Structures are given as C-alpha cells and as structure tokens.
Structure 1
C-alpha cells in the first residue's frame, strides 16, 4: 500500500481511545484519593482498549459518527472494561513497569532521519545516484574492493622502489 507523503498532515484516529479516556476520568474521580495516586490512567486505557473494538475515523464526519456509535453500542462494555482495568492496575500498586514514551519514538525518528541524510550524502559521491539501503552493499562493495586493490598496488610499488634505490650502490655502504 503506497502512502502519498504529500498528504502527511492527514491522520486517522481511534475514537475508542477518546471514549475510554473519558470513562477513565469519570471512574477515577469516584475513587478515594489514596487509591487515585496509585492508578496510572495509561495502563487502565491499555487494558480496556485491548478488550474493545477499534473505531477509526479519518474525517470530522467519520469521527462524530464513530463517537455516536461508540457511545450507543459500546457504552456498557467501555464502562465494564475500564472498571476491570482499574481493578487490574490496583491489584499490585508496588509493581513497576517501564512506560513507553514519546521521546523514544522521537529518538527513533531522529536516528532514521540521520541515516537517510547520510545515505543521501553518500549518494552524491557515488557514480550510481540511485542509492538505497537495499542496494548500498551491492554498489559500495565493488568500489571499496577497487580502492583496496589500488592501495595494494601502490604499497607494492613503494616496496619495489625502496629495494631498487641507488643508495646501496654507493661504495661507502658496501662491505
């Protein structure tokens, strides 16, 4: 499936995430304060969303339609799954987990962009300008082998020249 990158301002959204988030807020407010601080809403949402159907939309009309559908058809199921999620998260308040963060995704995006920039820069120095990660080895390996062969030939030429110098013909150096 090809994605037109010129339209990367357009997104799709899982409306179920919004509905679950609203329900989590409603239910957390009802909890005692000492329990609220042990509840991670992201973990509750993850628990509930893994048990509910996705309702994706890519337009405002679709978003509104999916929101109505979610509230009418899945209201009871959303409430139940959020309640179960709260119970599951509260079972062990001392357990620790390493949450996913947006920074890690941004780091990955940054590394990918740097790699793409490096590939484009490398392509400027190669005779074959159509360089990709798939064909980089096929294009660069012969060039490196050629350079290695030239280096080996140059090193051998230096050795031959040093052995054939006239300096040893000088009588002062002879025994």
Structure 2
C-alpha cells in the first residue's frame, strides 16, 4: 500500500491505525528518497492529525493477561531444564505455541486484569502448564530453521537475557 493510499484511507475513516502508521514508517525508512506526491500526502496527513480530522489510534488500549501468565509459566519450566536444553529454547516460540492453544484473557483496566489473572489461576492453571510443557517439547523435537526471520530481528541472546527482557516487559516497575 502506498503512502497516498494510506493517507486517503485515514482521511476517509477519520482514524490512523497502528498498522497504517507502521506501514508509512516502513515505506519512509526503506525509500532512499520520497516523491513529491508522498511528501504532499504526509503533509496532508500531518495537517489532518493536527486539526483533529484524523485521530491516531493508540497502539494498545488493552492487554491479553494470558500472555504474561504463559511467559511466566514457560520461564518457570525452562528454568527447570538442564543448561544445554534451555539455551536451545526460544521462549517467544514456546510461548506463541502455548498461546495459540489457550483462550485469550483481554482486559482494559487494572481491575479487569486482576480479575482475569485470578480467573486464570483458578480455572486455567493446569491447562497453561500443559500447553507450555507441550510447547517446550515441540520446540526441542523440531529441527532448527537457519533462515527464519523473527519479528523482532534481535541479535541472538542467551536465555538469561531473553528472560530478563520478558520480565521487564511484563513486570511493572
């Protein structure tokens, strides 16, 4: 999708979604030089944003509590493995496997998140444990794919660095 098409869509809808914003950013970063039409469209978008004709949607107005619960469970289970196995694991892959097999638990407030955490502890703990365990087993059994393109393109990190980043993401303060 071009910048002009994105701006047209944003003006028509009155909203600039995070996906649209990311696509504009990707185009701007990948292009060595923008055309006059692209600059004009960006100026038009900026004016519409400043005038309130287009509203930029926040990136996240909700959380999936299940994500933090699964990441915590995966980290707990990985820490119980021997060093050689745990270094080979990608916590994000294991968590994604488990999350694809568990119900989402979305919340839009701290109270809602607290409710979802308690509900999961009472009703879903065994299922979270089982799916995380299955994710680890599947990850260890599959062949490594050398030319994978992960979403976040990080430099390869050891397990402790991955866990530290995940904990910082999910642990407030």
Shorter-normalised TM-score: what interval? 0.5 to 0.7
* Distance in 1, Cα, partners of 2:59 & 2:101: 30
Q: Quick check: 1:11 aligned with 2:87?
A: no
Query: Highest relative contact order (Cα 8 Å, sep 6+), 1 or 2?
Result: 2
What is the CA distance between 1:71 and its match in structure 2? Answer: 1.2
The equivalent of 2:28 in structure 1 is: none
**Contact 2:14-2:55 at 8 Å conserved across structures:** no
* Distance in 2, Cα, partners of 1:9 & 1:92: 34
* Distance in 1, Cα, partners of 2:81 & 2:91: 13
- Alpha carbons of 1:60 and 1:84: their partners in 2 closer, same or farther (altered >3 Å)? same
Q: Quick check: 1:89 aligned with 2:167?
A: no
The equivalent of 1:20 in structure 2 is: 70
Unaligned 5+ runs, structure 2 = 1-12, 16-53, 155-173
**Whose Rg is larger?**
1
The equivalent of 2:152 in structure 1 is: 101
The aligned length equals 103
The equivalent of 1:63 in structure 2 is: 113
CA-based RMSD of the aligned residues comes to 2.5
The equivalent of 2:127 in structure 1 is: 77
> TM-score, normalised on structure 1?
0.53
The equivalent of 1:168 in structure 2 is: none
What is the CA distance between 1:9 and its match in structure 2? Answer: 7.6
* Distance in 1, Cα, partners of 2:109 & 2:127: 25
- Alpha carbons of 1:88 and 1:10: their partners in 2 closer, same or farther (altered >3 Å)? closer
The equivalent of 2:87 in structure 1 is: 37
Unaligned 5+ runs, structure 1 = 104-175
**Contact 2:62-2:108 at 8 Å conserved across structures:** yes
**Contact 1:38-1:93 at 8 Å conserved across structures:** no
- Alpha carbons of 1:92 and 1:18: their partners in 2 closer, same or farther (altered >3 Å)? same
> TM-score, normalised on structure 2?
0.53
